[in-house]
Structure 1
Amino acid sequence: MSDWPPHVTVATVVERDGLFLMVEERDKSTGEMVFNQPAGHLDPGENLREAALRETLEETGWEVELTGVLGMALYNARNGTVYYRTTFLARPVRAVPGATLDPDIHAVHWLSYEEIEANSAKLRSPLVLAAIEQYRKGLCGPLDLVYG
């Protein structure tokens, strides 16, 4: 049985000089350490863009500028939870000195595609690599696709 309605989440693919901004975090359902893009749930009263900016800052300590939409996806997790995820593309603006990261984040990394691919068994979900591959193919929509 799936958890319905789906959890609304956002993720942000941030690339700089061929490296992608990634977080290493503990998966609460399995206890395993996993890699993910900066990502998280939509909070009450915020829109998808605001959530993506907030989650990226909270999880990585980086301010970013959203530049496009990489896609929307439904994902059925092994624990039965269904996620609706909007993935944005962003460029890094600046690292915030002394930023306090979410307690679930164990490390922040800038990783190459090859490093991410080599750790594919440790990715939080298949959506992580799929979003990066979408970016690498140049498939990105304008931010105007997401409004409200």
Structure 2
Amino acid sequence: MVWKPHVTVAAVVEEAGRFLLVEEMVEGRRCFNQPAGHWDPGESLLDAVIRETLEETAYAFEPEYLTGIYHWEHPGKDLTYLRFAFGGKLGPQRQDYALDTGIIGPVWMLPAEVDAAHEHLRNVMVQRCIGDYLAGKRYPLEILHSLTD
């Protein structure tokens, strides 16, 4: 068996004490996640988080810093995730934009509401990313390097 970790990106966005999450259907289950998704071939991590945020919320996103890098092993499946979470600010929301399949829509939640919804979170990384953001963890984007020829 070949080990293939899933590399994902996520946007951590806070406005007026509320965090932007996405309500979505995953395997028949309604859950909440940051705007997040897989890193696609040929794009930078920054391009990926901008794209995923747009696809799942219809908001433009400008990453300003890295909040953290997270390794998570799915307990019920043979899956490993490596998530790059970016903090930043939102631009305008496109009213005409069709969201990805399975996405119900964006929601804004206070940290206490996120904690209360812990059974409905997509995974443990959601709370950890918010916790690290609230703890002031900010890493400059300059630590990311693309060494393609």
Q: CA deviation at 1:37?
A: 0.1
- 2:104 matches 1:106: yes
CA distance in 2, matches of 1:94, 1:146: 26
Hey, what does 1:52 align to over in structure 2? Answer: 49
CA deviation map 1:9-32 (0-9, x unaligned): 10110111111110011223xx21
Q: CA RMSD in A?
A: 1.3
The answer for the alignment partner of 1:128 in structure 2 is 126
Does 2:127 match 1:141?
Answer: no
Question: Which of 91, 116, 120 is 1:93 aligned to?
Answer: 91
Q: Given the alignment of the two structures, is residue 14 of structure 1 paired with residue 13 of structure 2, yes or no? A: yes
1:68 maps to which of 58, 65, 70: 65
The TM-score with structure 1 as length reference comes to 0.93
Large movers: runs of 4+ above 2 Å: none
1:21-70 deviation line (CA, Å, top 9, x unaligned): 10011223xx2111000000011100111000000000000001111101
Give the whole-Å Cα distance in 2 for the aligned partners of 1:46 and 1:53. 11
Give matches, 1:77-92, under 5 Å: 77=74, 78-92=76-90
Residues 71-130 of structure 1 deviation map (CA, whole Å, 9 limit, x = unaligned): 111111122111111110011111112111001101210111111111011111111000
Identify unmatched segments of 5+ residues in structure 1: none
